[in-house]
Amino acid sequence: MLNFYPPKAKQRTVGLMAALSILLVCASCQPRRELRLTGKTMGTTYHITVVAGLLTSTGTLQKKIDARLAAINRSMSTYDPNSEISRFNAIASVEETFSPSVDFLDVLEVAGELYRLTDGAWDGTLDPLINLWGFGRKGAVHQVPADDRIDRALGHVGFDRVERDPSGRIRKTDPAVTLDLASIAKGYGVDAVARLLGDEGLTDFVVEIGGEVYARGHRKDGKPWRIGINRPDRDAAFNEVYKAVPLTDQAMATSGDYRIFFQIGEHAYAHILDPRTGRPVTNGVVSASVVAANCTVADGLATALMVMGPEKGVALVDRLPGVACLIVTRQPDGSLKDHPSSGFVLH
């Protein structure tokens, strides 16, 4: 048998391989610690906790996360006049087509499915109404719009007015239709960061953007991550927990009427609008939390359940495999009532 290595060189190579093997074994059994990364995105903040070994560096990881979120923001922020969504909204023709990025197209596909599943209770074309009520990029108005203005805006709402051709290009069937995908964009950002962390070889982490969460694996102590649902009261602290939910390889998103609203006299007008009436919901629902395989779906579905109410909302979720929810309503005496789906689990 031919020997391509001089004896001493071969010994050095074998020794180097043995040392490398020891190093790899030591790396695999090194003590694990919790790394925390925070930042700003999509008009809110993100918080990420990663359970990893001592050799994991956060600096490079955070740069990758910030770059990924910046790309999504450039795609779907209605506050950026140069974003994809803003450029699509500026189109005033039914003939002109638009070629969306992969991110934009992915979100539109989920949006279409949510629109269909919820019979229009979730609608990504509420942009004119969101601005009319003072909850959008045009700023607060703190007044109830006139009925005729609501009706005019409502005449240009309907996600089925955005069509996609086989090549992936999209167009409007109503030139006045404009998109606002904020109710699923944060969830999509959570999913994108979770995929990034997985591609980096990380197996135990929790990603949160503006209250929307995806948890993979387990905590440092080997137990499932526990995610709190904020108490749905307008005077509740942001860290006041109403219920805690164990999450492993799942996402959870919560929508509520208790953070973004304006008040006239004793009446509060929340930012959750019913696409069918053009007005804030008045069905007693104050919070809706959804657990699903991904945060994009959970985010949008939580908004839809606020509109649908507990009976129809729970009935829908019970038909969806791998999805669970908790809808909370306020009773006439001010107390809170829980409406969980059959698969919803509390810690």
Read off the tokens for 15.
């020794």
pLDDT for 54 equals 65
pLDDT for 59 equals 84
pLDDT for 29 equals 53
pLDDT for 33 equals 84
Q: Which residues contact 277 (CB under 8 A, 6 or more apart)?
A: 154
Between CA 262 and CA 141 the distance in angstroms is: 9
Between CA 186 and CA 200 the distance in angstroms is: 21
Q: Residue 37 forms beta bridges with which residues?
A: 48
- The count of other CB atoms within 10 Å of the CB of residue 220 is 13
pLDDT for 37 equals 96
Element (H, E) at 66: helix 58-76
Element (H, E) at 19: helix 7-28
Q: Which residues contact 194 (CB under 8 A, 6 or more apart)?
A: 205, 207, 214, 216, 295
Between CA 123 and CA 114 the distance in angstroms is: 8
pLDDT for 32 equals 74
pLDDT for 25 equals 45
Provide the whole-model pTM.
0.89
Between CA 186 and CA 43 the distance in angstroms is: 10
Cβ-contact 69, 43 below 8 angstroms: no
Instruction: For residue 24, count CB atoms less than 10 angstroms from its CB and return exposed for 0-12, middle for 13-18, buried for 19 or more.
Output: exposed
| Residue closest to 110 by CA, chosen among 285, 282, 299, 279 | 299
Tell me the average confidence (pLDDT) per consecutive run of 10 residues in the chain, 347 residues long: 37 46 47 88 96 77 96 96 98 97 96 97 97 93 95 97 94 97 97 97 96 96 95 90 96 94 90 96 96 97 98 98 97 95 88
Instruction: For residue 173, count CB atoms less than 10 angstroms from its CB and return exposed for 0-12, middle for 13-18, buried for 19 or more.
Output: exposed
Length of the chain (residues): 347
Read off the tokens for 314.
């729970």
Instruction: Provide DSSP, 251-318.
Output: EEEEEESSSSEEEETTEEEES-EETTTTEE--SSEEEEEEEESSHHHHHHHHHHHHHH-HHHHHHHHH
pLDDT for 347 equals 64
Read off the tokens for 224.
């499932």
